[in-house]
Amino acid sequence: MKDRIILHCDLNNFFASVSLLFNPTLKDLPVAVCGDKENRHGIVLAKNDIAKRFGVKTAEAIFEAKAKCPELVILSPDYEKYREFSQKARSVYERYTDMVEPFGIDECWLDVTGSTMLFGTGEVIADRIRNDIKTELGVTISVGVSFNKVFAKLGSDMKKPDAVTVISRENYKEKIWGLPVSDLLFVGRKTCEKLKSCGINTIGDITCCDDISLKRLLGKNGICLKKYALGEDNSPVIPYFEEETPKSIGKSETTAKDFTCNDDVWKVFLSFAQYICDILHQKGLYAGGVQVHIRTSTLSVKEFSHTFAFTTNISIVLAKEGFRLFCKNYTFGEPLRSVGLRAINIKGSESAVQQDMFGEDIKKAELEKIDDCIYSIRKRFGKSSLKRGTTVD
């Protein structure tokens, strides 16, 4: 069977590149886009190539970056602009194929197998996209071209910025097997440590391991990683209009000061639940459970979850169930640095558990009508147009 032609498009230094378009006088200076230091999100989110040459790294604290590069210019993120440019980039991709799968705000996979008769080879299409992005958006992109998604992603990482890299069946062993094992998609820090503890340092090393040892070390994930290294990734490119039902939807927050009492948590849970249920309403989905995430002031992380006997997309119900779970499992032995609420076991309307319309469920039906009205108003006039009084500070 003929190989697929998959591209992975990665917008270079995306946050920094977009921010510099609106601050052109800074283009020759080391620049980093960083989170809000006052709200304790003071880390590097992105940096330009000049800052990178000083050793500035993504996710390090601002003071660490400044120690390496005292002249570093700090910019605040502008997420609206980033979303706008992300959508513009996807519009460019869609000129060449309708098979576009987002992988974060600045990366996408494209299946251009059916586009070659119109636009040329995968490499030619990649080069055309690279030029379109640079000419029309003013930012650069790196593109990997291969016969599967994993190798295409590796290709886009190999040459940056503004480059195209082809990884074919003929050259993948030569190009990929000598790379560090950490470069392989889905090999995180802990997985990398486990592999290195067994002498597996490169991607090629994985291919030499027997399946039994890999499964003992990493479970089923070990077998998958070996298949990826051998070029046996057959996962399809899933267009974003065909995305599967998400398994969970959540929101968390690190505030300017610690949470010190239940009232603080209840207020943010109401806000989080409204955000989550707006998305559930929008997609016609229902939650079958709730998960609570907390991080203490000493950075200890804990999670608790509870499965419902029903499904819901009512914000007050989700908030109450989450708060009940929180109170059951935490008594403020120490302040909390951050909290999170997540709807889990999400189902479509066709598989949601229908409620009995008697007793307590009459109240739920009334609450559902109220929540539908709240969602309609927020959708029409904006998310800030209607809030629960308790959440207004």
CA distance 167 to 257: 49
Of these residues, 80, 107, 174, 321, which one is catalytic?
107
Say which residues have a Cβ less than 8 Å from residue 375's Cβ, sequence separation at least 6: 277, 278, 281, 282
Amino acid residing at 234 = N
**Half-sphere exposure of residue 330: CA atoms within 13 angstroms, side-chain side:** 26
CA distance 151 to 179: 12
Closest by CA position to 3, among listed 172, 226, 169, 193: 169
- 84 as an active site residue: the answer is no
Q: Would you say the C-alpha torsion 239, 345, 300, 260 has a positive or negative sign?
A: positive
Q: Which residues of 7-39 are buried (b: 16+ CB within 10 A; e: fewer)?
A: bbbbbbbbbbbbbbeeeeebeeebbbbbbeeee
CA distance 225 to 181: 10
Q: Would you say the C-alpha torsion 375, 378, 381, 387 has a positive or negative sign?
A: positive
Q: Would you please indicate which residues are annotated as catalytic (active-site) residues?
A: 107
